[in-house]
A and B are shown apart, each in its own frame.
Chain A
Amino acid sequence: MQIFDVFLLEAVINGILLGGILALLALGLNLIFGVIDVVWICYAELIMIGMYSVFYLHNVYHLPLALAFIGCVLLVAALGALLHLLVIRPVLSAEPINQLLVTGGVLFFLQAVATLVFGVEFRNVGVSLPALQVAGMYISFARLIAFGVALAGMVAVYLFLKRTYIGTAIRAISQDRAIMPLMGVNPNRIFVLTSAIGGGLAGLAACLLVLQYDIHPAIGLTFGPITFMVCVLGGLGNMVGGFIAAFIFAQFISVGGYFLALEWGYVLAFLFFIAMMFWRPQGILGGK
């Protein structure tokens, strides 16, 4: 059997494209964890809300898709800030595990609200992009765009953190939460801002995912667990590690799904994750 047949190559390329999206998902979560030291278990549910907002803005209120996307990013960014103010702030000094669980409660809440408001029907924005045919392989155009935008988004966040004053303050807070208030920085404002940026990234991810997937209230469970795995494998809070881990995971899912069934790809990815935890418990690049 010829190992490098064209379908395998297609699976590898699709894996790389999927990796871009996963990296974007992980970036938002890592940013929040790195700065606030909280894992948003409900991160994928924010994405779900974002996907619905695109659907409603575009298909129900007939806004142009670009405006719907901007609306989605802004809305989810606001949701992120709200989540921090209403839910995270009261438990900031509580046990770490309560912070984890409280966002788990938000997960149930958002899912239920989506069921209540939007119903359980599968929705689709109905934008279908053509598939690119390159050398006998079919590459989804939507995935290609998603990959490009995800990369651009990550570069933008990187530049923001490195080049701007506020970005520097955010990085400083993530390095030492206790010292910065002594330097006259108000950590609460930084926290809210970071939550909003994390939310905005979730909104961006929602815009990209809405082109490829149907929307339903439980869609978050499709992306949620895998995003946590990516973050932990890369080292919680380590953005570069998360970036690398995203592509490793995506290859497991895509190539594993090519040789076996799609679920087995996920099973392999999770098993690989568990195995890696024993080899490098702090993530592939984690040092803490």
Chain B
Amino acid sequence: MKNARWIGLALLAAAPLAGMGEYPLHLLILCLLWAFVYTGWAVMGRLGMVSLGHGAFLGIGAYVVVMGWNHFHLSPWLGIPLALLATALLAFVIGYPCFRFKIVGHYFALVTLALAEVVRLIIIALRDYTGGSLGVTPKTALVNTSWSLGAMQFSSKLVWFYVILVVWLAGLWIWTRVDRSMARLALEAISQEEDAAASIGMSITRLKLGVTMISALMTCMGGVLYAQYQLYVNPESLSGIGISLQMVFGAIAGGMFVRLGPTVGAAFTLLLAEGLRLGLGHDIHGLDTTIYGLMLVLFIIFMPKGILGAAIAAYEKRRAAPRVATA
């Protein structure tokens, strides 16, 4: 099992070297990038804190770095800490009162949804700097050169593949660290019964805030990478209700309670969207998203554990079945 994991990783890392086309490589990069973001969401989502506002952090990551570069000639390397700082600040400002005053469930989801909308609207309202709904491209540093480390712009997709592969692995590592921590057990208890958990001395606010920070910072980092890879950002695709829901669905479709679940969800949603788009063509506008939306609804009704979650549950059930029979 352990070996299989390393072999799989080695195959994945070697895949682009085997002469993969530009388009499949692009899909692979996007898949890993979204997998990282969905994993970031799942870090807190699985513990009962369902945020519909992670688009806010994604948008901050992308826009702080791009605005810093375009207007202040600030290298993304300095922009990243700035974006992370802004994200941490926002996550704290929103998270602290929410957890302190026990805003949970529907209320938490709707408060965070407001947050995502605020960020989207601010980006649009500052259209003189951000380009409004039309979006903006970072000023190119790729004149007479194919890469610029200072501007964090690389024309080679291969570079991006390895950067994002490492980031994705780091995301899985963070997920595992949180999964194995005491905080996870505590938070699971809290998500079941908040008052009982508090009565045995768990610091609800601090635990929740910590996990929220990790989740928000990961999402912010995803936004930065998305902007630098695509070299184009716009408010609709990086903040607001649409992308926030998409993140939630991605994580849930794959299964937010298992480590590779969000990754499976990212691969599934991306391949589904691309497959439908290629298979059905551009002529019938909206058919692909119709099927996509329908599948999301069916997923939540019939497979709330997600693809990987359901698969693992079925596998374990089959393995456990004979033992029960002999006992």
Contact = CB atoms under 8 A, between A and B. Distances in A.
Interface of A: 39, 41, 87, 90-91, 94-98, 100-102, 104-117, 119-120, 217, 221, 224-225, 228-229, 232, 236, 261, 263-264, 266-267, 270-271, 273-274, 277-278, 281
B310 interface: no
B150 interface: no
30 contacts: A87-B297, A97-B106, A101-B248, A104-B248, A105-B294, A108-B245, A108-B293, A109-B293, A110-B293, A111-B289, A112-B293, A113-B286, A115-B290, A117-B286, A120-B285, A225-B117, A225-B241, A228-B110, A228-B113, A232-B107, A236-B106, A261-B125, A263-B122, A266-B121, A267-B121, A267-B122, A267-B125, A274-B114, A274-B115, A274-B118
A225 B113 contact: yes
Contact of A271 (B110, B118, B240, B249): B118
Contacts of B107: 232, 236, 277, 281
Interface string B260-292: 000000000000000000000000111111101
B301 interface: yes
Interface stretch (B68-76, B95-103, B224-232): B95-103
B301 to A, nearest CB: 5
B83 interface: no
Given A112-B288, A263-B124, 7 more contacts: A100-B106, A102-B297, A104-B248, A105-B294, A105-B296, A274-B94, A274-B115
B174 interface: no
A148 B66 CA distance: 47
Contact of A97 (B94, B109, B122, B289): B109
Given A87-B301, A281-B101, A101 B249 contact: yes
A277 B241 CA distance: 19
A63 B301 CA distance: 39
A91 B301 CA distance: 6
Nearest to A119: B285
B180 to A, nearest CB: 24
A221 B293 contact: no
A102 B105 CA distance: 15
A94 B301 CA distance: 9
Contacts of B286: 112-117, 217
A216 to B, nearest CB: 12
B111 A274 contact: yes
A277 B294 CA distance: 33
Interface string B165-176: 000000000000
Contacts of A232: 107, 110-111
B210 interface: no
B304 interface: yes
Nearest to A104: B245
A269 to B, nearest CB: 9
B50 interface: yes
A101 B253 CA distance: 11
B300 interface: yes
Nearest to A117: B286
Interface string B293-327: 11011011100100000000000000000000000
A98 to B, nearest CB: 5
A119 to B, nearest CB: 7
Nearest to A95: B304
Contacts of B285: 115-116, 119-120
B121 A105 contact: no
B125 A100 contact: no
Interface in B205-236: none
B6 to A, nearest CB: 35
B124 A112 contact: no
Contacts of B111: 232, 273-274, 277
B300 A102 contact: yes
